[in-house]
Structure 1
Amino acid sequence: MGVAANFKKIVSIESVRKRRGRGPGGPPPPSMFGKGLTDESMRELTRRFSKPKTEEDYRNRAIFAILSKTGLRAKELVSLRFSNLTKAPTGETLVTFVRKGGRFGFAVIPEVSLETVRKYHTAFEIQSDMFFLSRPKRNQSTRTPLTTRSLQRIIGTWNVMTCQGRKVHPHALRHTVGQKMLDKAGSIAAQKVLGHSSPVTTAKFYTTPYYDSSKILIW
């Protein structure tokens, strides 16, 4: 291939990169902001769901109560069952489920979070082993287990934005939990909560992109 042909090929590649919003080469730069929610947004959701009235309100409160304390993935959340709850010798309530990749997993469910699920069931006389269900359609009483797509839609109606300016989604809650655990309790604790195989994975994906050094560097 001649010099002219090579030059033409390089120009063509650079043109594609520019159309995709990239620089002169390599992957796009990482975002300066995390993928989770701010503390202010989390407090706002806590206040909003504190006094439920409708079935949707009760379910929203229960979903938020579980996700904000466990950081479960969407597929893990919709698979939760009362029959999979067990009591640890140390007193914590654990729930078992299938993790990403088909691995067996478990998470601590705080009693206060579990109570919001029980109240959701009791208030609307729900008889089911599943934690979360669809609302019955008009003139029907049948409920079905919540799907990941339905969960996405439900959380999208919460009308808050992530730190990156995106509409809130289930995984944004996982990022929020992961970053807070990493900041306050370290990589091992965050790894245990999120169910990663290594704290290196946790640190790689959930470390806050920036840090205010003035909190530490006091001379």
Structure 2
Amino acid sequence: MSISPNFKKIVNIDSARKKKKGGYGGPPASPPMFGKGLTDQTMKSLYNRFSKPKTEEDHRNRALFSILSKTGLRAKEVVSLRFSNLVKAPTGETLITFTRKGGKLGFAVLPEESLKTIREYHSAFEIQSDMFFLSRPKRNQTARTALTTRSLQRIVSSWDVTTCQGKKIHPHALRHTVGQKMLDKAGSIAAQKVLGHSSPITTAKFYTKPFVDGSEYLKW
């Protein structure tokens, strides 16, 4: 039996919509209740833990924490930082240039406090390198190599704290912490500039807290 060319297939609208959205699952997943960053209490605990370094590992941890918690840079950007890429802005700030995600040139303000921790880390162990962060020498060796993103993730993971979602800390969790804090305290434009986003809409989309205590403002 041949099918008439005028025949039109009848499709159930609800079924078509479900297929378009990718399946017949239940209701859409709700957004996570808690952010991906760290609490203020955890950040203060890490700051205090690294405040009095003794070993090379301690000094490097302090410098890494200072950079990650003050700049919000991505792991790949952090391990690429060099002294030769420091620039003094006309307004007095110290800037550091690096290659951003996507291959574009980026820059960030490097607080004097953070730069001091890096210089002390290098000075205490007579490190002669243009790179900010390096591996520790192995037994009976003096050679160091530039830190890799995998090494950085392993180091940060060894700090053994968890995010607001209960997951083990990773470098990007500190970027989320910086983004959310900047958004809360200084607004989307300032947060956008610190994180290097192309638009404050992107910043607001990913770093706005999923809930707000309005009681401070809702007083009648």
TM-score (norm 2): 0.89
Counterpart residue number, 1:57: 58
Q: Shift in Å at residue 103 of structure 1?
A: 1.0
Instruction: Tell me how far apart the structure 2 counterparts of residues 78 and 29 of structure 1 sit (CA, whole Å).
Output: 35
Q: Which runs of 5+ in 1 are unaligned?
A: 2-6, 18-23
Counterpart residue number, 2:97: 96
Instruction: Tell me how far apart the structure 2 counterparts of residues 192 and 168 of structure 1 sit (CA, whole Å).
Output: 24
**What amino acid is aligned across from residue 189 of structure 2 in structure 1?**
I
Counterpart residue number, 2:40: 39
Q: Shift in Å at residue 215 of structure 1?
A: 1.5
Larger radius of gyration: 2
SS in 2 for 1:117: helix
Runs (4 or more) in structure 1 with deviation over 6 Å come to none
Counterpart residue number, 1:174: 175
- CA deviation vs aligned residue, 1:162-190 (integer Å, no higher than 9, x gap): 00000000000000000000000000000
Counterpart residue number, 1:126: 127
Counterpart residue number, 1:200: 201
Counterpart residue number, 1:140: 141
Instruction: Tell me how far apart the structure 1 counterparts of residues 187 and 129 of structure 2 sit (CA, whole Å).
Output: 37
Pairs within 5 Å for 1:78-117: 78-117=79-118
Instruction: Tell me how far apart the structure 2 counterparts of residues 80 and 191 of structure 1 sit (CA, whole Å).
Output: 21
- CA deviation vs aligned residue, 1:9-51 (integer Å, no higher than 9, x gap): x9xx65xx5xxxxxx144x321100000000000000100000
Instruction: Tell me how far apart the structure 1 counterparts of residues 82 and 206 of structure 2 sit (CA, whole Å).
Output: 29
Instruction: Tell me how far apart the structure 2 counterparts of residues 160 and 94 of structure 1 sit (CA, whole Å).
Output: 30
- CA deviation vs aligned residue, 1:49-77 (integer Å, no higher than 9, x gap): 00001100000000001111000000000
Counterpart residue number, 1:21: none
Instruction: Tell me how far apart the structure 1 counterparts of residues 61 and 103 of structure 2 sit (CA, whole Å).
Output: 27
SS in 1 for 2:123: helix
SS in 1 for 2:98: strand
**What amino acid is aligned across from residue 116 of structure 1 in structure 2?**
T
RMSD: 1.6
Instruction: Kindly tell me the number of residue pairs found equivalent between the two proteins.
Output: 203
Instruction: Tell me how far apart the structure 2 counterparts of residues 119 and 147 of structure 1 sit (CA, whole Å).
Output: 21
**What amino acid is aligned across from residue 63 of structure 1 in structure 2?**
L
Instruction: Tell me how far apart the structure 2 counterparts of residues 134 and 29 of structure 1 sit (CA, whole Å).
Output: 41
SS in 2 for 1:116: helix
Q: Shift in Å at residue 218 of structure 1?
A: 1.1
TM-score (norm 1): 0.89
Instruction: Tell me which protein shows more helix as a share of its residues.
Output: 1
**What amino acid is aligned across from residue 176 of structure 2 in structure 1?**
H
Fraction of identical pairs, as percent: 75
Instruction: Tell me how far apart the structure 2 counterparts of residues 192 and 152 of structure 1 sit (CA, whole Å).
Output: 25
Q: Which runs of 5+ in 2 are unaligned?
A: 1-8, 10-14
Instruction: Tell me how far apart the structure 2 counterparts of residues 78 and 216 of structure 1 sit (CA, whole Å).
Output: 43
Counterpart residue number, 2:71: 70
